[in-house]
Amino acid sequence: MSLDLTELARVGRVLEEAHSLLKGEQQRLEQQYGPTPYGDSTAGSPMQTLSGIRDLSTAMARALKEVALAAGYSVFGMDQRADHALRLARMRPVAFPSGADRMSRPLGEATVRAMELIRDLGFFHEDIAIEIDVALAAPEATYPPADWDAYAREQRARSE
């Protein structure tokens, strides 16, 4: 079965725009904080903020790569490989939007725009839109938690 290349092209362009926004934000934050701030590992610290923006950017780069592979395999008539690449591309991006949970507030305009693009894309599982809205609405960074025991209890309660 051949994939809808027009749709994949649309998705790829949005992923590329989101990735470009996040890379630009990463560069801005590296200039602000220095490329490798160490020491304070609390939520919202420079170290966590840079870790978060890098996580967001990397997640978009991976998704874009898989979409490109799916399109390329489809063009080559390698349908099984194309389907596999598309399934990988649609998986919930690791650390997206959770990378934003590490970042100081307010989030940068480019970060917010990139997250909104992905939320509105409709490509990933629908739960990602809710997760993005939660991350965007958070008044402060939430990860890593100040109290790991309380965090573990909360995670257990959510999974039950």
- Tell me how far CA of residue 122 lies from CA of 64, 115, 130, in angstroms: 15, 12, 12
**59, 67, 90, 81: which is closest to 12 by C-alpha?**
67
Task: Give me the tens of pLDDT residue by residue for the chain, a chain 160 residues long.
Answer: 567 999 999 999 999 999 999 999 999 999 998 877 777 788 999 999 999 999 999 999 999 999 999 999 999 999 999 999 999 999 888 889 999 999 999 999 999 999 999 999 999 988 999 999 999 999 999 988 877 787 778 878 877 8
Residue 126's pLDDT is what?
Answer: 85
**What local confidence, expressed as pLDDT, does residue 38 receive?**
74
For residue 74, which of 83, 66, 65, 62 has the smallest C-alpha distance?
83
Domain ranges of the chain: 5-159
pTM for the model stands at 0.89
From the CB of residue 23, how many other CB atoms can be counted at a distance below 10 Å?
18
Picking from 5, 97, 107, the residue whose alpha carbon sits closest to that of residue 57 is 97
Alpha-carbon span 37 to 29, nearest angstrom: 11
Q: What pLDDT is recorded for position 65?
A: 96
For residue 132, the model assigns a pLDDT of: 96
| pLDDT of amino acid 84 | 95
